[in-house]
Structure 1
Amino acid sequence: MKLRLFPQEPAGLNLLSQLARQIVLASATMAEILGAPASEHDRLVEDMHNHEAKSGELHFALLTHMRTSFVNPLPREDMYGLSLCLNQAIEKLDAAAELVALYKLDRLPKRAADQLEIISRQAELTADAMRRLNNLDDLEDYWIETVRLAKRAERTHRIWVADMLKEMKATQYARNRDVANQLVDVTKDMRRIATQVGSIIVKES
């Protein structure tokens, strides 16, 4: 790992960790939505919107911090890329929640819970990794595990779609497919974050 010659400013890493933490909280809200009756959806979706709004605030706070801080723990383009992917991931979770409410989906297949379990695990790993970006030697396992989880999510998505095609009428299939696509796209964003961390590890080694 390259020797860093200047003291590191932890505020940027703290903001990235808080961004990842919003995905953890949003995943918990999404779990509530999946288990709640349709009458509760609007309230829970409002909670999800609040998570997404907080994520946007943190993203722009990080951009301001990078512009005004002389020393950053990582190159600005890497910090921006990580922040952007984190923010995009929660936007897709927010979209999935809103679709459940708009389509009045009372009960989603078990595959939805499987995908959410993967997202929650990726989010927990990522929140921890963002705090530890100043010690890249410890992050290779995070990189590998998050990519492994994303591959599992894509397999789950394919099976979910195949099951829906067999079991659902066209309109029901289209609505559930929209939610499924948003959830698998969250796992892809989390994979992009881990892949960028892997790129940083390679560059800094």
Structure 2
Amino acid sequence: MKLRLFPQESAGLKLLSQMARQILEATGTLSEILGAPVTEHGRLVEELHGHESKSTDLHFALLTHMRTSFINPLPREDMYALSRFLNEAMEKLDAAGELVALYKLDRLPKRAADQLEIISRQAELTVEAMGRLDDLDELEDYWIEILRLAKRAERSHRTWVAEMYRDMKAAQYARHRDIANQLVDVTKDMRRVATQVGSIIVKEA
């Protein structure tokens, strides 16, 4: 038997899915920043800021929708939490790109690309999942996979920090660690999204 929560009202779910898509697109922009010369950073960071601005607009649009809609597809507190975690992930992704530009870094270790690959996969899965929150039957797999990816990201982060500590001077280490911390925090926010979905599944089972 399918678990359905007010499938006739899906506008809020579309907004959540669009927020996740902004993270996916921003991950592509940040990948470009990592591979671009310093002279290109300014243009690409502005593009990244654009994704962050769209995410914030979508967040506020969802809040307005919840206030004005008689029926929401999920309890308001769950929709708000999902939106907040997605927006916070986007803010940290934006901050990581801005730090690369501010520090004028023209090269980051492969670990940075590994983390972006994980974030991109988390975002892809979340885009799909947010649009399916009115049918919870198969979302347990989403929840489990996001948690697996987050654990992989945390292991990669620990290895990255250890390698930087071993190979870099203090000032260089501090700059790179700032970026590493922002990226792993994005994966943690995506994990919070999945954990919230897990909570919804448990409540509605």
Using the TM superposition, give the Cα deviation of residue 138 of structure 1 relative to its aligned residue in structure 2, in angstroms. 1.2
Q: Does 1:109 align with 2:99?
A: no
Letter in 1 for 2:160: W
Q: Whole-Å Cα distance in 2 between the matches of residues 29 and 82 of structure 1?
A: 23
The separation in 2 between residues aligned to 1:178 and 1:95, in whole angstroms, is 10
Contact 1:56–1:87 (Cα < 8 Å) also in 2: yes
Task: Write the mapping of 1:55-70 to structure 2, written as runs, cut at 5 A.
Answer: 55-70=55-70
2:188 is matched with 188
String of CA shifts for 1:82-132, please: whole Å, max 9, x gaps: 000000000000000000000001100000000000000000000000000
| TM-score, structure 2 normalization | 0.97
Unpaired runs of 5+ residues, structure 1, are none
CA contact (8 A) 1:2 1:204 kept: no
Q: Deviations over 1:28-76 (max 9, x none)?
A: 0010001101110010000000000000000000000000000011000
TM-score (norm 1): 0.97
- Asked whether the equivalents of residues 118 and 149 of structure 2 are also in contact (C-alpha less than 8 Å), the reply is yes
How many angstroms does 1:8 deviate by? 2.9
- Alpha carbon RMSD of aligned pairs, Å? 1.3
The whole-number CA distance in structure 2 between the counterparts of 1:59 and 1:113 is 28
Which ranges of structure 2 fall in alignment gaps of 5 or more residues? none
- Identical amino acids, percent of aligned pairs: 79
Amino acid at match of 1:191: R
Length, aligned pairs only: 205
Q: Which residue of 1 aligns with 2:37?
A: 37
Amino acid at match of 1:201: I
- Distance (whole Å) between structure 1 residues aligned to residue 200 and residue 147 of structure 2: 15
